[in-house]
Amino acid sequence: MTGLYLSKEFGSFDIYYNSTYRRAKETMELMYPDVKEPHEDPRLDEADRGIWHTMTKEDIEKFMPWEIERRNKFGLWRYRPLGGENWGQVESRAHSFNGTLNRDYSGDRVLIVGHGNWFICYQRLIHHFSIKEAERRYHEAVLENASITVYEGVDIGGKSRLVLSKKYDNFVPWKGLL
């Protein structure tokens, strides 16, 4: 549904990017099957939650209670689970990716198939959200699965700037069809 909506509303794009995660690659393939080789970029990968990916919260509480204590001590943004990365590290990847977009694709229409936590970090960069606001967006699950967010480039005083299209701020096209 999302792919059909994107095709109808926006047509094709100049460049296609997806993370290296299988679900992102499959989503891109479903949405744009004619795109033979979209750019896979590990900077778009979801936050690596280390042990949180392989264990349930109950297992961690049972077998590694110190890890819960450590997370509470550092807070969501700074906490880096064993074998994983913290949100600041994800934001650094998003910042690097944004530099690539600005340098290589200024003025191009770019489609990114990515992940919610990564995108929260990206939006924090673009909108200058506080860490508190980014954490709120995470806890309240502001970004929905298969949602569309559109940024448009505008020229403001001779400088190019990305602005959020209000019509497509976390828009979920298939929701009305259920």
Please write the tens of the pLDDT for every residue from 41-53. 999 999 999 988 8
DSSP state of 117: H
Residue among 48, 39, 26, 24 nearest 114 (CA): 24
What are the CA-CA distances from residue 11 to residues 3, 6, 23, 149 (Å)? 10, 7, 22, 16
User: Rounded to whole angstroms, how far apart are CA atoms 142 and 161?
Assistant: 24
pLDDT of residue 177 exceeding 70: no
In the predicted structure, residue 156 carries a pLDDT above the cut 60: no
How far, in Å, CA of 108 to CA of 11, rounded? Answer: 13
Question: How much is the mean pLDDT over the chain?
Answer: 86
Distance CA 43, CA 50 (A): 17
Average pLDDT over residues 125-143: 91
Per-residue pLDDT of 53-111, as tens digits, reads 888 889 988 999 999 999 999 998 999 998 999 999 999 999 999 999 989 988 888 99
All structural domains of the chain, each given as residue ranges with its CATH number in brackets, are 2-48+86-177 (3.40.50.1240), 49-84 (no CATH)
Provide the whole-model pTM: 0.85
